Structures are given as structure tokens and as C-alpha cells.
């Protein structure tokens, strides 16, 4: 199967990026990470890309008059690298029409909670503070709403009485590193069928 090019947008340490890179290198996804883009020039995600010989680009939102202009530049970079699928991996900017219309149905995100519960920032801590007994993570397609796109995969973890927000986040992160590559592989192997709000997985 021909390998697809993936573009990853990240704002921080890049552990989900690393899990995607590792899965591609191990042949568990018929794809390659072709470029990593960050709005944070100091993001360790960019260093991970550089160490792997992958194009790493920092784009400063402040250099652009608005989101549309900022995203036009991102789209140009993604197209230059023949990206087919865009993966948000700890990307802390709301993606707008410009990027979504350039990659219709081809933008995914990992969220550290069981959507639709606890959307937005710090989903792990929101769940912990709420007192849930189970939490987890969600891979979903991205639409214009915040964490409202069709859900692809979810994983559940128990919340322990002695958990802190950080210990819960660590338990969730282990599952993120498992289901994100799995979801990307399902996409790259043509096994995902989006039907309205639902995503069916072909056997
Ligand atoms: N259109 C979409 N964009 C993004 C989604 C999505 O589902 N649809 N998921 C997020 C990821 N994310 C949480 O999962 C998230 C990202 C950004 C924000 C946020 O409030 N950002 C602010 C300011 C951030 C900054 O100061 O840099 C903003 O962009 O206005 C909340 C949650 C990725 N994007
Ligand atoms: N709202 C988005 C969000 O909260 N994303 C979360 O940020 C972390 C990034 O870690 P990483 O940089 O090590 O992948 C991950 O836990 C991801 O689910």
C-alpha cells in the first residue's frame, strides 16, 4: 500500500507526535510524518521532528493579521509536503475554515477526555475535579466547533481515589499513544466511513 503523507500540528512536548512517528517507522501505519508545524517556536515537538530528520516549521501567529492569513501559510506548507492527513497533537489553536476547507474530512485531533464531556483545554483536570469514576481520551475528526467533530475511537481509564490531576493525565496519555496511531492507521487503510455524526469502522 502506498504511504500517505501526514502533517502534524503541535504546540508542546510532542509525545503524541512521537507515538505517531514511531508507529509509522515500525510499519504499523502505511504513512510517514512529512512535516511538523508549531505555533510555538520552543515546542519540543519541533525538536523531535528535527532529530528524526523530519521538516519542522515554527509559525508565529503574531506575524499574521488574522487566522485566515495564518492558516493560508500553514496550508501552503502542508501542500508543499504533499500532506494528505492533518493530525492535531496537542495543538492549542482553534482551527478555522481556511485549514478545514483545504483538508475536508482530513483533519484529526486527540482529546484527553471522553467527548462530548469536558471539551476544550485541560480536559483531564476538568474530569478529575468533577469527580468522575472513569475518564479517557477521544480521537475525532475536526470540524469548526471545539471538540465537536465525529468520534473515531475512544479509550476508557479508571479514576483512582488517590489520583491527582497529573496521575490521571498520565494514565490517559498512555491510552492516547495507543489509540491515535490506531485511528490514523484505520484512516490510512480506508477503514473509516463517516455517516453524519457517526464513524463506522470497516472490518
Ligand atoms: N476547529 C477546531 N479546532 C481545534 C479543535 C477542534 O475540535 N476544532 N481541537 C483543538 C484542541 N484543543 C483541545 O482539544 C483546544 C485548542 C485550543 C483551545 C483554545 O482555547 N485556544 C485559544 C487560544 C490558545 C492560545 O492562546 O494560543 C484560541 O485558539 O483562541 C482550546 C482547546 C485544536 N483545535
Ligand atoms: N485540547 C487539546 C489537548 O488538551 N490536547 C492534549 O494535550 C496533550 C499534548 O501532549 P503531547 O504534546 O505530549 O502530545 C495531550 O494529552 C493531548 O490530548
Q: Rounded to whole angstroms, what are the CA distances from 71 to 6, 39, 66, 114, 177?
A: 17, 11, 9, 28, 27
Query: Is ligand 1 within 6 A of the CB of residue 121?
Result: yes
82 annotated as belonging to a binding site for a ligand: no
pLDDT score of 1: 81
Element (H, E) at 47: helix 44-51
79 annotated as belonging to a binding site for a ligand: no
93 annotated as belonging to a binding site for a ligand: yes
pLDDT score of 52: 98
Q: Tell me the pairing of strands 31-38 and 55-58.
A: parallel
Q: How far apart are CA 150 and CA 147, in angstroms?
A: 9
Tell me what ipTM this predicted complex has: 0.92
Q: Counting atoms of ligand 1 from 1, which one is nearest the CA of 144? A: 1
C-alpha cell at 140: 475525532
Query: Is ligand 2 within 6 A of the CB of residue 48?
Result: no
pLDDT in tens, 2-24: 999 999 999 999 999 999 999 99
pLDDT in tens, 121-172: 999 999 999 999 999 999 999 999 999 999 999 999 999 999 999 999 999 9
CB 186 within 8 A of CB 192: yes
**How far is the centre of ligand 2, averaged over its atoms, from the C-alpha of 90 (Å)?**
4
Q: What residue spans define the domains of the chain? A: 4-201
Query: Is ligand 2 within 6 A of the CB of residue 89?
Result: yes
pLDDT score of 69: 98
- Across the range 47-66, mean pLDDT stands at 97
The architecture of the domain spanning 4-201 is 3-Layer(aba) Sandwich (3.40)
pLDDT at 47 over 90: yes
Q: Which of 81, 111, 140, 177 is catalytic?
A: 111
Amino acid at each position: 500500500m502506498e504511504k500517505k503523507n501526514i502533517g502534524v500540528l503541535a504546540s508542546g512536548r510532542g509525545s503524541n507526535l512521537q507515538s505517531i512517528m514511531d508507529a509509522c517507522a515500525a510499519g504499523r501505519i502505511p504513512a510517514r510524518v512529512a512535516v511538523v508545524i508549531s505555533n510555538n517556536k520552543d515546542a519540543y515537538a519541533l525538536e523531535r521532528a528535527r532529530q528524526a530528520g523530519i521538516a519542522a516549521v515554527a509559525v508565529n501567529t503574531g506575524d499574521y493579521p488574522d487566522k485566515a492569513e495564518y492558516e493560508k501559510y500553514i496550508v501552503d506548507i502542508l501542500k508543499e509536503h504533499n500532506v494528505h492527513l492533518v493530525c492535531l497533537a496537542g495543538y492549542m489553536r482553534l482551527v478555522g475554515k481556511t485549514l478545514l476547507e483545504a483538508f475536508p474530512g482530513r483533519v484529526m485531533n486527540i482529546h484527553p477526555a471522553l467527548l462530548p464531556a469536558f471539551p476544550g483545554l485541560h480536559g483531564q483536570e476538568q474530569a478529575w475535579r468533577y469527580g468522575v469514576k472513569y475518564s479517557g481520551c477521544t480521537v475525532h475528526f475536526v470540524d469548526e466547533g471545539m471538540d465537536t467533530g465525529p468520534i473515531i475511537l475512544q479509550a476508557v481509564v479508571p479514576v483512582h481515589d488517590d489520583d491527582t490531576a497529573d496521575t490521571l493525565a498520565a494514565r490517559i496519555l498512555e491510552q492516547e499513544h495507543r489509540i491515535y496511531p490506531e485511528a490514523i492507521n484505520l484512516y490510512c487503510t480506508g477503514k473509516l466511513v463517516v455517516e453524519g455524526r457517526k464513524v463506522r469502522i470497516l472490518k
